[in-house]
Amino acid sequence: MLILTAVGEDRPGIVAALTRVLYEQGCNLADSRMTRLGPQFAIILLIQPPRDFDREGLWRALEPVAERLGLAWQLRQVSPEAIVPPPAGEPIIVTVYGADRPGIVAEVSAVLGAREINIVDLKTRLANAGGPPVYTMLIEADLPPNGDLEELRQALRAVGERLGVEIAANPLEVAEI
């Protein structure tokens, strides 16, 4: 398995160009995250190469495409054993809404980490619809089998009161993804 990371100024065609190279090299995308962050576009791809894989050939094919698109990129090997199996616990969603201020991600993630809750995905946005900016955060996480959702909610509520934001934690429904 390989991980390809790439970051560059956002513009149309980045995903198409990179995935075309991977396709032409016989690679399959096992998992991916692609998103715009401010004026930049970031890509993280878990790639399953073909059996007769030529790493240098893939590098040579990606290099001119990345250069043309102005991407900073990295390709690294990951052992299949390093890929984490799905958790045995319960998937949950944590949502945060309120006025923006420093420390929101640090405080909320500390509550999760202290309870051995693994963050699978975290997204933040700052929206301004004509009024004061509203900070939103959406966390997909894994509550361990011995985790207590109600106790987590109480701990997050206390952090929310201290930070002046609304925080909720609920079981993840597949339709929400």
- For 47-64, the pLDDT digits (tens) are 999 999 888 999 999 999
* CATH number of residue 140's parent domain: 3.30.70.260
**67 and 126 part of one domain:** no
**Does residue 176 register a pLDDT over 60?**
no
**60 and 20 part of one domain:** yes
**77 and 8 part of one domain:** yes
**Does residue 3 register a pLDDT over 80?**
yes
**100 and 171 part of one domain:** yes
Residue 166 CB contacts under 8 Å (≥ 6 apart), including other chains:
95, 96, 97, 98, 160
**103 and 73 part of one domain:** no
pLDDT at 85: 67
Task: Write the Ramachandran bin of 119: left for phi over 0, alpha for psi from -120 to 50, otherwise beta.
Answer: beta
Total-model pTM: 0.80
Query: Band of the pLDDT at 150, cuts 50, 70, 90?
Result: very high
**71 and 31 part of one domain:** yes
Rounded to an integer, what distance in angstroms lies between the CA atom of residue 165 and that of residue 176? Answer: 22
pLDDT at 80: 73
**Does residue 161 register a pLDDT over 60?**
yes
Cα distances from 21 to residues 29, 39, 71, 88, 143, in angstroms, run 12, 24, 14, 36, 38
Range from 4-13, 19-28, 120-129 carrying the lowest mean pLDDT: 120-129
Rounded to an integer, what distance in angstroms lies between the CA atom of residue 19 and that of residue 3? Answer: 13
Q: Which of 60, 82, 104 finishes a domain?
A: 82
The number of angstroms, rounded, from the C-alpha of 32 to the middle of its chain's C-alpha atoms is: 9
Q: Residue range 136-165: average pLDDT? A: 96
Q: Which of 82, 104, 121 finishes a domain?
A: 82
For residues 39 and 9, is the Cβ–Cβ distance under 8 A? yes
**32 and 69 part of one domain:** yes
**98 and 72 part of one domain:** no
pLDDT at 121: 93
* Residue 94 dihedral angles phi and psi, to the nearest 5°: -115, 125
**96 and 146 part of one domain:** yes
**Does residue 23 register a pLDDT over 70?**
yes
Give the number of domains in the chain.
Answer: 2
pLDDT digits (tens, 9 = 90+) for 68-124: 999 999 999 988 766 666 667 899 999 999 999 999 999 999 999 999 999 999 999
**103 and 163 part of one domain:** yes
Domain that holds residue 149: 90-176
